[in-house]
A and B are shown apart, each in its own frame.
Chain A
Amino acid sequence: MLKLAYVALAIAMGAGLAPAVAAAAGEAAATVNPAGEKLYKSACIACHSTGVANAPKLGNKEAWAPLIAQGMDAMMQVAIQGKGAMPPRGASSADDATLRAAIEYMVQSSQ
């Protein structure tokens, strides 16, 4: 029911294909890969919502600023290899693209 409504809304707006096209186009400004938020909400959230074992909390600008300053490559390295209590790939089975999207989601929510 919800799904139908969503599809109907998308068609009505004439934007049914837009998100897929945008994702394929790569890092277009302000484009969000929904897989990032999805991965965050299934796995990363376990620690990053409350700051388990000193994980930088989602939305904590001060905690994230130095990490964001190091850049995406450095954050990806931590996400892939793990660091301290953070397990490799955040203990998920996600691929690099999805991990990157999850980091982008966390960064956007913490700036």
Chain B
Amino acid sequence: SQPLAGRQAAELQSKVVPSKQILHSDNMEMEPETMETKSVTDYFSKLHMGSLVYSCTSKRKSK
């Protein structure tokens, strides 16, 4: 049989070395989200195509 120190070393190797287990970090790479977009320019150009007059300059706030 093996000498004690050798056996301990072999045992240590099999215990500490992650032969079946490795430290895992969750590094799954996801695709980006898609957000829905609105734009004041879209609306603005649609208004100009029609006959409406744009009235954004009329302000609610009066200090």
A in complex with B: no
Interface residues of B (CB under 8 A from A): none
